[in-house]
């Protein structure tokens, strides 16, 4: 993950929670039902969790409150500081989806919200390959992120956002690596995961992949 990208998230750390709360009209639909989306991920999770893209610690807080063990990975120093202030007992490491430490405890669930799209499709493939080696049979990946049903859905979404005049959101959708459910399904199946998808709002899908 590039330094410029990490610096952007360092700057965003001070206003991130306001953005996800739905106060920003341009991103309101992206973060619609944000709290419910986090709860959905928690409900699908096991007991020993590896969380990528911790951000300010919103999901971590919910996981910890349920008595789960959480190992967090977050590349932004600003985000890490906010997350640790909220969750002093959180085990948090500098790292990303592809570069992270090994853990003594056996991970049963890998989770992430609003972050997997920062990887190219090739990087997503490389990441899932690592996770397939980390997880035992019945171990799970539970990600919630923006994705497209198919390429036509992608085009229609971009046109709609453009017509709404949401140019910052349009730029994000065009420059980040949001992919289709078909691409994601192929990646998960390639590494022996059974995967299912559930639409949680107009943008976000829940991806639940279980290791065979």
User: Which has the closest alpha carbon to 148: 196, 186, 203, 197?
Assistant: 203
Is this prediction's pTM over 0.85?
A: yes
| Residue 157, domain member (yes or no) | no
156 lies in some domain? no
Q: How many CB atoms lie within 10 A of CB 170?
A: 19
Instruction: Please check whether residue 67 lies inside any domain of the structure.
Output: yes
Q: Is 106 exposed, middle or buried (0-12, 13-18, 19+ CB in 10 A)?
A: exposed
Report the CATH number that the domain containing residue 95 is assigned in CATH. 3.40.50.150
* pLDDT recorded at residue 102: 92
Residue 19 lies in a domain: yes
**Of all helices (H) and strands (E), which one includes residue 67?**
none
Establish if 62 belongs to a structural domain. yes
Annotated binding site for S-adenosyl-L-methionine: 53, 74, 96
Categorize the per-residue pLDDT at 2 as very low, low, confident or very high, splitting at 50, 70 and 90. Answer: very low
What pLDDT score does 19 carry?
A: 57
For tokens 């893209």, the residue is 53
Binding-site residues: 53, 74, 96
151-156: average pLDDT? 96
In a domain, 151, yes or no: no
Let me know if residue 153 belongs to a domain. Answer: no
In this prediction, residues 127-131 reach a mean pLDDT of: 98
pLDDT at 123: 96
Distance CA 129, CA 166 (A): 36
Q: Report yes or no: 42 and 62 within 8 Å, Cβ to Cβ.
A: yes
Answer yes or no: is 198 within a domain.
Answer: yes
How many structural domains does the chain have?
1
Is residue 178 within 8 Å of residue 124, measured between CB atoms? no
Q: 124 lies in which domain range?
A: 3-146+179-211
């Amino acid at each position: 993950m590039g330094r410029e990208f990490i610096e952007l998230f360092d700057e965003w750390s001070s206003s991130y929670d306001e953005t996800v709360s739905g106060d920003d009209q341009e991103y309101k639909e992206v973060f619609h039902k944000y709290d419910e989306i986090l709860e959905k991920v928690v409900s699908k999770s096991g007991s020993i969790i590896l969380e990528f893209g911790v951000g300010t610690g919103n999901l971590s807080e919910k996981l910890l409150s349920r008595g789960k063990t959480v190992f967090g990975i977050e590349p932004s120093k600003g985000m890490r500081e906010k997350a640790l202030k909220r969750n002093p007992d959180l085990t948090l490491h500098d790292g990303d989806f592809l570069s992270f430490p090994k853990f003594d405890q056996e991970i049963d669930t890998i989770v992430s919200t609003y972050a997997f799209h920062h990887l190219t499709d090739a990087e997503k493939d490389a990441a899932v390959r690592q996770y397939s080696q980390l997880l035992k049979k019945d171990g799970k990946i539970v990600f919630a992120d923006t994705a497209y049903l198919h390429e036509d859905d992608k085009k229609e979404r971009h046109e709609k956002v453009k017509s709404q005049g949401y140019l910052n959101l349009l730029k994000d959708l065009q420059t980040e690596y949001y992919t289709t459910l078909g691409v994601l399904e192929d990646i998960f199946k390639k590494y022996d995961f059974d995967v299912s998808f559930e639409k949680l709002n107009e943008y976000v899908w829940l991806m639940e992949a279980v290791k065979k």
